[in-house]
Amino acid sequence: MTITLRRLFFSRLSILVLLTGLSGWFLYNIKSNIKFGIDLVGGTYITLDVQVEKAYENALVDLMNGVGEVLPAQIRTAIVSKEVKGDALYIVFSSLNASNQASEFIAQHMRGLWSVENSGESLVIRLTRARMDYIAREAVRSNINALTNRLNRFGVSEITVAQHGARRIVIELPNVHNIQQARSTIGRVANLEFKLVEDQAGTEDVLLDRYGGVLPEGMIIVPGQLSHRAQGGSEGFFLVSKYAAISGRDLESARSEIGQGSPVVAFTFKPDAARRFYELTSNVGRPIAIILDDVVISAPVAKEPISGGSGTISGGFSSEETRELALLLSSGAFVAPVTFEEERHIGPSLGEEAIRQGVVAFAVGGVLLFLFCFLVYKVGGLIAFIVLLYNVVLSLMLLSLMGATLTLPGIAGLLLTIGVAVDASVLIYERIREELQRGAPIRRAIDAGLSGSMAVILDSNITAFLGALVLYIYASGPIRGFAATQMVGIVATLVTGLWLLKAMLTYLTDELNIGKIKF
């Protein structure tokens, strides 16, 4: 047989050489190609406690802001005042009849959500126990979602953000060792509020003196800056309402942009909040305080009503600050603030020791497996062992493409699939042996061995894959990593066992004209 350069270049040998080179490059740069879990490279472990009492207060504030839209017009116009005190909302009406009508309406249309008590011309509205339990569960769930979105900035894939107990959240950040940076991002509430400015002054005392030392009812003083900080704005204090009609919970999106030559945060409100924003900006000529975590970051003057529910936040921010603010706002403000109950820095020494022991165990197991394959199946066993090495590399490549994080349970799942891959080779070789004993030529025996074993190999691997898939969907953390590695290992087994093994065996018979291979 004449072998030309073109025939050699497009042969299965060239594909095997290419795969070998690619595998070598991947293994050489494995630390940059694979993300390792906290048990292998260390990181930061944090436990948070969700202050669900603040979520209860927010629910009362939302009711206070929206009660005017819920009640019929004849009752709504009779409201004299409304205020949240402690764990209750107090609404005062102009008449006892209006108070009774409001009580009957709320009891009829909001049964199970609120408990109502009549006190003359006033109503005292509290959350029911069932509603409090629901709000607490939703506060924890919402905070978990917000934290997951925020922590993507660290480039950590499959971070662990999970509920622990009734109101605690556990966070594991693999390969993140800057605890202060993680703490500043995790612990920031990012509570955005828009309020009309009633008054402002350079100091808090000056502002209090204007009102005889007693603040008007329903008002609070918030610190901030009296002018644009890029222009050297001085510290100041603002008199604003205690409650905001519009908050960050009403945002639909937030993004960092360049507006008029400087970085700004562009935002869009949800449809129902867009109307309230239009009413707020209809106070032409009055400053509107943009408050982030109880600090006024900007107080622009409303020049005209803003329709469409969109706008920008500027305040002399740098590009990095606007990106961080947009990330915090778009990921969602915490429904309830969190406190740090525990934070630990896990060093990589444990992971390095685990990796070293894993490498030693893998090497010892590999040598024993090689001896078994070679002693039992001779040259065929050597080829099966080479295919097994490709199987491992392909599994790691698939994990890298998935962006998965490799943990110790994941390594266990990978080793488990190696055993499955050996079973596939054993089934094929035993079938080939049967054909050879019947006197079949080597090429026909190889084809019969592969075709005769395919059904059994597919059945066993598909059932194992489905089991791992269920585990991956319903599990979390390390168990999910175990399932992920098992799934990619099964895929790699099918590719290498049914295609690569056949390619190598048929290359020996078709290209090199070898008429006998020991199995």
What's the average model confidence in pLDDT over 289-301? 82
Model confidence band, residue 301 (pLDDT cutoffs 50, 70, 90): confident
Percent of the chain's residues with pLDDT above 90: 1
Residue 52 reports pLDDT greater than 70:
yes
Residue 176 reports pLDDT greater than 80:
no
Residue 46 reports pLDDT greater than 80:
yes
What's the average model confidence in pLDDT over 271-275? 80
Type of residue at 88: A
* From 19-33, 137-151, 190-204, the region with the lowest mean pLDDT: 19-33
The residue among 287 and 306 whose pLDDT is bigger is: 287
pLDDT computed for residue 158 by the predictor: 55
* From 57-61, 149-153, 374-378, 429-433, the region with the lowest mean pLDDT: 149-153
Cβ neighbours of 510 (radius 10 Å): 13
Fold of 192-340: Gyrase A; domain 2 (3.30.1360)
Name the 3-class secondary structure at 299. Answer: coil
Model confidence band, residue 86 (pLDDT cutoffs 50, 70, 90): confident
Percent of the chain's residues with pLDDT above 70: 86
Instruction: Report, at the CATH architecture level, how domain 5-37+347-511 is classified.
Output: Up-down Bundle (1.20)
* From 94-103, 149-158, 280-289, 503-512, the region with the lowest mean pLDDT: 149-158
pLDDT computed for residue 154 by the predictor: 46
Query: Measured between alpha carbons, how far is 254 from 264 in angstroms, rounded to an integer?
Result: 10
pLDDT computed for residue 234 by the predictor: 60
Phi, psi dihedral angles at 45 (to 5 degrees): -120, 125
Output the CA–CA distances (angstroms, integers) from residue 277 to 270, 280, 284, in the order listed: 10, 5, 13
pLDDT, tens digit (0-9, with 9 covering 90-100), for 403-422? 777 777 777 777 777 777 77
Residue 471 reports pLDDT greater than 80:
yes
pLDDT, tens digit (0-9, with 9 covering 90-100), for 11-28? 566 677 777 778 778 777
Output the CA–CA distances (angstroms, integers) from residue 473 to 63, 406, 469, 484, 488, in the order listed: 37, 17, 6, 10, 15
pLDDT computed for residue 4 by the predictor: 47
Query: Measured between alpha carbons, how far is 172 from 313 in angstroms, rounded to an integer?
Result: 33
What's the average model confidence in pLDDT over 134-140? 89
Model confidence band, residue 5 (pLDDT cutoffs 50, 70, 90): very low
Domains of the chain, residue spans: 5-37+347-511, 52-130, 192-340
The residue among 355 and 399 whose pLDDT is bigger is: 399
The reply to whether 5-37+347-511 and 52-130 are identical in fold is no
Output the CA–CA distances (angstroms, integers) from residue 424 to 196, 306, 419, 420, 438, in the order listed: 72, 68, 9, 6, 22
Query: Measured between alpha carbons, how far is 495 from 397 in angstroms, rounded to an integer?
Result: 13
pLDDT computed for residue 8 by the predictor: 46
Give whichever of 40-49, 131-140, 406-415, 451-460 has the largest mean pLDDT: 131-140
Residue 296 reports pLDDT greater than 70:
yes
pTM (predicted TM-score): 0.59
Residue 229 reports pLDDT greater than 60:
no
Query: Measured between alpha carbons, how far is 160 from 45 in angstroms, rounded to an integer?
Result: 9
What's the average model confidence in pLDDT over 294-314? 78
pLDDT, tens digit (0-9, with 9 covering 90-100), for 240-263? 988 887 887 777 777 787 766 677
Model confidence band, residue 238 (pLDDT cutoffs 50, 70, 90): very high
Cβ neighbours of 479 (radius 10 Å): 16
Fold of 52-130: Gyrase A; domain 2 (3.30.1360)
